[in-house]
Structure 1
Amino acid sequence: MKSIRKYMNLPGSLFLVTLIFAMSMTPVSASAAALRADIVQCDPNPAEIGQYVNVWIKIENIGNTRAEDVSVELIPSYPFSLDTGDDTVRNIGILSTDRHASLEYNLHVDENARPGTRSIKVRYQDDEGTAWNEETLNIWVGSGSDTFDSKGTIQLEQITIEPEVLMPGDTGTVTFTLKNTATQYSISLGGEEYDTNARIRSATLEGTDDITVKSDPYHDTGILGPGDNVELTYNIEVDDTARDGTKHLEFIVVGSSYTYNYKWDVPVKVDSAGIKVIPTKPLTIDNGVATIQFDIVNTNPNTLTSVSIRPQAEGIEFSPVEYFIGSMEPDELFTAEFDAQVVSDNISNQQELALIAQYRNGINQHETFLNDLSLTIVTEKPNSGTGLASISILLIIFVISSLVMYRHKKHQQ
């Protein structure tokens, strides 16, 4: 009876196992493409009561799988509204990993709205038929008292990028120096007197598909008096697959009032060139020992630091084991020499030679492998002709000596 129950329960057991497996797999697939929504810019900021505000919403794929058919729905709530005919649902389509799309909406702020932080809702799905996710995003609504009559003008005085040229996969910093260009503490316009302070309400650095900004925007950094300046620093990261060239970030500053907002283009250079190694002597080892020589060249536009070269070949020892150069300016050349010695009897006539170049670009450690070189091993056999010649000379000397002694004895007789 027990065996009958056992076989009768087998189909049910298989069904349960299959069901559990399917349930465990489905969430993984669905959550692989993870989306995130953010407001990246409002113009004006704060939004004016009774006026329109342009809102840019960024939809970013932060998952590990491509989103096949992204759709986004904006759900405005009081005091915001969309004009009749404006699409609340928009289709983006395919959104690859670590990529984003920006959507612009024109919202009206109700004339009876009260100042403060107000919210809108954004829903999105990564593919048709999948579940919608919802986020609440905040927009600052201001009144007349939230704008200032200060007439100071903000100038972008300096951009410092470190390292100056980034390589794919690098992290770096971008520092902005903002200055209030006013030279006096007040000015008169139209019979009224205004102070010349400058206010920075917010400062945001926007990335690209190849460069991600890792720092949050700055908010309410304070007041700059005439001639004062402030430095704002952001961390950035270059994608491993970024191509060489100049990438353009966007620096957005919201100032004292609606007419004192700024937007600057920020060029960032990406260059994958690094250390180049050139053999300057034949890569040949005669009778087990040789001295090999290489020219080391920095082909990157940056100064590279902690540069070192290390050769490797099976059955061969090198001295020094590693050649440390240190800092190298762009296009600078160093010559490195290594003594090579064969330490193995089981070695071929052509031995693969690998050169490992290590260096730093800013704080970023890099390692380059050059493995398209080979060492020629030459072993010369002793010359047997020399030995025969020596033996022949000895025989001749012996014969001559014998003849001389024979004649000398005969003469005595």
Structure 2
Amino acid sequence: MVDNKNEGIVNKGIVKLQSVFAVFAIFAMAMFVIAGVSTAQYIKPEQNVISGLYISNATYYSPYPAEPGKYFDLYVRLQSVIAKGSLNNVSCWIEPSYPFSIDQSDQSRFDVGNLATYQEVLLKFKIRVDEKAVTGSNDLVLVCSADGKQQSTKLPIYIQAHDAVLQITNVESTPSIFEPNKVGEVTLTLDNLASVTLKDITVKLGIENENIPFAPVNETNEKRIQLIESGNETKITFNLIALSNAVAGTYKIPVTITYYDMLGKSYTKNAIIGLQIKTQPDLLVVHDQTTIVKNNAKSIVPISIVNRGQSKVTFVTAELLEPHEGFTLLGPNVYYVGGINSDDSQTAEYEIFVNTTEKYIMIPLKITYKDELENYYEQVENVKVNVFSKEDAIKYGYEKPVATDPLILGIGGIIVLYLLYRFVWQKFRKKKKTEFNE
């Protein structure tokens, strides 16, 4: 009979069975419990019979593996295997040792009472694993006594951290900044922070996207490592080329790492690394001669700044420097241009009065700007500006002589005819009319 103090597994962690039917029922229940959890592991004890009690092969613990700093449930299924009669005063308990322990609020000992031949009992223990436990198999001691005899056996419990962490701890590129159409190396340092060996490691760079201007050289974008032992690190190097049409900037490169622990459990880790590409800026500064500059006259001088580089430049500022030879600056000497895209231009305009004996003047300009990586640049240019006299402007076709301009001549002729009609002809008609009346 079951002692009144021994309740069901839900309340006290013990179930006592009286019939063959119940034996099959408890076996089915155990199978259902195992199927209902994500992981569980059957236990093969050091000795499967102690104190006349057979430790069934349905004994298991869950979850599997046990994790440092967490609990696991141990289900021990015992059966009386004496030839006849019953086992009296049956008691079983756990004698925990590091890294295992049982909280004071949880039951560590079960006084089962008497068990008839082939009668079974299922005990449930809640075990804590120390947070500093190392990966590996550790023995948990189960002790049982019956009829005044006491024996023990060891139950192997496997401990492993749930998250087998493989981390990228360092990224090195040579050169530190890539240039278009040049080859470099990217080295990743992988550190096994798990307490177990990790194996079948695959590292893949996500450079398939057309917006990422990198390609592997003489290899693929995927590499494999056989294993990394716990606490060790391994370096893996990729040979990459920056594409010839690459634009300067910082590019985010996805990295996917897949690997397995020694139990065959798979893991996937996604990370992002950054690689930079630098292109050499190339600015052309010239006088935009859509308008001419005349001597002894006020002029607006347009200076065209052309971006011949592959990448955009930003914060472009033009400053007209001293000395001002052959001209007088009439407006501000600093002109903010802003950003200039590749293969594009912007104009800075200065208002000056020209007074020179030369055929040209030199405009000293300092151009400052930044590239896409926020690198600062400064260049000084002496921009040649041709100066035209009135005669030269007519000579080279920038202006037309007033006397030979058909439009001006036509307009002038119309004006003359109108004046003749208005003043001369009208006066003449009036005089003739007066004489006739007389």
TM range (shorter): 0.3 to 0.5
Q: Which has the larger radius of gyration?
A: 2
TM-score by length of 1: 0.39
TM-score by length of 2: 0.37
